A = this chain, B = another copy of it.
Amino acid sequence: SVNGQRLWDSLMEMATIGATDRGGCNRQALTDLDRDGRDLFVRWCREAGCSIDVDAMGNIFARRPGRNPDLPPVLTGSHLDTQPTGGKFDGVYGVLAGLEVLRSLNDAGVETEAPLEVAVWTNEEGARFSPAMIGSGVWSGEFELDYAYSREDKDGRKFGDELARIGYRGETPARARPLTAAFEVHIEQGPILEQEQKQIGVLNGVQGMHWYDLTLTGQPCHAGPSPMTGRRDPFMGLHRILEQLYRLAESHGPWARVTFGDIRVEPGSRNTVPESLTLAVDLRHPEQPVLDAMDRSFREIAAAAADEARLEHSIRDEWRSPAVAFAPQCVAAVRESVAELGYSNMEMFSGAGHDSVYISRVAPTSMIFVPCEKGLSHNEAENAEPADLEAGANVLLHAMLKMAAS
């Protein structure tokens, strides 16, 4: 079993990089702080005897050799980047739990048949550069490398340039290699395990998610002399769309999600009715047919509300990540490991996207969840219990050993 204290200490040391006043982390993708976090991880991996490879997307692979170099590796990993107001565990836990697995095997002098790898996937959050999970996305063939390099942050800085700037644009092609299996351990980022008082979530899959940019365009005019009735005011369409989309979520049961994370306004002057509003829309549901129905309703709602307020509207599909079912043999490996270790547990799916979504397209994959306090994530107050983090890492260790044949 793993060393829970060492895992915790490593998490706390990594959390000093980009630490915020309110106890969280702001270590956004491809910033100087992201580089510092990567450097620390690489140092720790070298100290644990790993070789390091960095690919053209900045994905880092730390490898512990197996007895049989011809066997494809068993991989684990997650991401080190955070939200602008992120926490200390989202992603980082999965990376450092992987490292802790390798350290524990070193301590115990255990060799495996297949090599083991711990991966750091670039820009999982999608906060600085949209879309999310783009490092694992290019690696698994979902996105082209050029598409990824051309993505821009809000200040117009390009992904490819920023990656080179921090020194993590590697030589290895960002392309999937054969894997025996892949696992990822993560905090739940939701309240279910805490509510059900379970220590481990055995993941069956990930819900589907669609991202859009909805733009409403009206006619700018003066806030004072222009009569209300003649206006073509994007805010007059916006409030109806917000209200109806919240009702749409309600009408599709407890698993449907509707989120508006960002809004931009043009020209953004106090005494001018805006010309346009652009709203970031995030729709999710675990069942793809339901999500598809939500997609259709969203388009109808936007069109009708824009019409009623005499606005033009356009919907740009920013990203689609269809619902995922994990590989039965990997889910079974997790399920058996939890049973052996005797942790309370439940089967569940993930509400958040993870790198495992894309990895699962090219290799047998599954995930392990541990509870987080009040289900809070993407929040500086994000918190998790050391005992739960240790339990999750132990399940990871057992599942990896099963697939790597120790």
Contact = CB atoms under 8 A, between A and B. Distances in A.
Interface of A: 83-85, 125-127, 130, 132, 154, 188-192, 207, 209, 211, 219-230, 233, 235-236, 238-240, 242-243, 246, 249-250, 254, 256-263, 265-275, 277, 280, 282, 284, 318, 350-353, 375-379
B224 A270 contact: no
Contact of A224 (B83, B85, B240, B353): B353
A230 B268 contact: no
A243 B241 CA distance: 11
Contacts of A192: 225
Contacts of A260: 233, 235, 274
Given A242-B235, A270-B262, A227 B125 contact: no
Contacts of A351: 222, 224-226
A284 B260 CA distance: 30
A26 to B, nearest CB: 9
B259 A271 contact: yes
Contacts of A130: 270
A188 B222 CA distance: 10
Contacts of A262: 265, 268-270, 274
Given A282-B223, A351-B225, A273 B261 contact: yes
A336 B70 CA distance: 100
Contacts of A220: 85, 378-379
Contacts of A226: 189-191, 257, 351, 375, 377
B125 A271 contact: yes
B224 A350 contact: yes
A223 B285 CA distance: 11
Contact of A284 (B154, B223, B268): B223
B270 A126 contact: yes
B270 A261 contact: yes
A135 to B, nearest CB: 16
A272 B263 CA distance: 12
A378 B259 contact: no
Nearest to A352: B224
B257 A375 contact: no
Nearest to A229: B254
Contact of A225 (B190, B230, B250): B190
A88 B260 CA distance: 37
A378 B228 contact: no
A195 B233 CA distance: 21
Q: 8 tightest A-B contacts by CB? A: A190-B225, A225-B351, A223-B259, A239-B242, A224-B351, A224-B352, A84-B267, A272-B378
B261 A263 contact: no
A220 to B, nearest CB: 5
Contacts of A221: 375-379
Nearest to A244: B239
Contacts of A376: 219, 221
B352 A227 contact: no
A378 B224 CA distance: 10
Contacts of A219: 376, 379
A242 to B, nearest CB: 4
